[in-house]
Amino acid sequence: MTTQTHDSRPPLTWVALPIVYVVWGSTYLGIHYVVQTMPPLIGAGIRFVVAAVVLAAVLAILRGPSVLRVPWRRLGTAALIGLLLLTGGNGMVGIAEQHMSSGLAALLVASVPLWLVVFRVSTGDRPPAATVGGVLVGFGGLALLTLTHGGGSGDVTGVVVILLASLSWSIGSFLSSRLPMPENPFAASVYEMAAGGLALLAAGFGRGEALHVGEVSRASWLGLAYLIVFGSLVAFTSYVWLLGNAPISLVGTYAYVNPAVAVLLGVAFAGEHASWTILAGGLVIILGVGLVVSTERRPRTAAPPEPGSEGGPAVESPTQARR
């Protein structure tokens, strides 16, 4: 009997993944400009609430209002994921960028794939050795940046906040493929962004933030517009789709590639300094992503699945994962 090898991942995976890689790398620069004259939590809240309203309107026009009708249980799960990803994850990135460069913030977010692999192992999954090795290599670069504060590009407060943001984002990413979510990934994005955005606004006002429109610079408004259109409507919806259609360890590798994009843009447009520590740590992290991506893209031998088998890194199909 002959065995066949194939890569069962949808071709769209290799379109959505580069979008998340590049566009999300650029959002750190957008956040850098937004928080210069706009409160971080309120600014992030406006971003996601507006994006949720726009995406809901587009979905209602293209597919009819019924696409937004989901059972309460799934709605609650989407709201929970939105709180973890956006309120805890993205909100704390905005706060952290008041204490560090955008490039360093992106580099420290590279702890996401480490947590994802740890969570996979805790559920009985067995990632390939190369995947674990790639994550550990990336973690070496992360440790270098954390211990040196990026060569002086940030302070202790920023480092602690960004690592907590990474943990929150990792938990949300991990749970999203294991809890009942709305069947349509774009509808899921609507409710995640709405819940996360409203919670960010509440947290911002509760924290004493105030938005003085007359004091917001043109650069901050342009940065916010870019984050709404490209960071949320394009990249976040691509990320949500990937969570239901690609291995979680492969999806998590965006956190390795984003830093290279963020550092280059920070140096080119925000006058940030790329110290030897940032360059060395970034290089180690990118080497790690090469190991993970090459492993996760490798075709696997097709074999009849065993009931209850959890071998291999692939997650459930969107339908299975969201039941």
Q: Flag whether pLDDT at 305 surpasses 60.
A: no
274/224 Cα distance (integer angstroms): 25
What pLDDT, on a 0 to 100 scale, did the predictor assign at position 223? 97
DSSP string, 7-74: --S-TTHHHHHHHHHHHHHHHHHHHHHHHHHS-HHHHHHHHHHHHHHHHHHHHHHHH-GGGG---HHH
Q: Flag whether pLDDT at 281 surpasses 90.
A: no
If one counts every other C-beta atom within 10 angstroms of the C-beta of residue 312, the result is 13
| Tens-digit pLDDT profile for residues 218-270 | 999 999 999 999 999 999 889 888 888 888 778 877 776 787 788 889 888 88
Structure tokens at 287: 């080497």
What pLDDT, on a 0 to 100 scale, did the predictor assign at position 124? 84
Of residues 164 and 126, the one with the higher pLDDT is 164
What pLDDT, on a 0 to 100 scale, did the predictor assign at position 20? 92
| Tens-digit pLDDT profile for residues 123-134 | 888 888 888 888
What pLDDT, on a 0 to 100 scale, did the predictor assign at position 306? 40
Lowest mean pLDDT across 5-9, 116-120, 127-131, 162-166? 5-9
| Tens-digit pLDDT profile for residues 41-87 | 999 999 999 999 999 999 999 999 999 999 999 999 999 999 999 99
245/13 Cα distance (integer angstroms): 7
- DSSP designation for 109: G
Of 85, 275, 65, 88, which is closest to residue 187 (Cα–Cα)?
65
Domain ranges of the chain: 12-299+313-321
Q: How confident is the model at residue 309 (pLDDT cuts 50, 70, 90)?
A: very low
What pLDDT, on a 0 to 100 scale, did the predictor assign at position 316? 31
74/61 Cα distance (integer angstroms): 22
Phi/psi for 283 (5° steps) reads -65, -45
Q: Flag whether pLDDT at 319 surpasses 50.
A: no
Q: Flag whether pLDDT at 3 surpasses 70.
A: no
Q: What is the pTM of this model?
A: 0.79
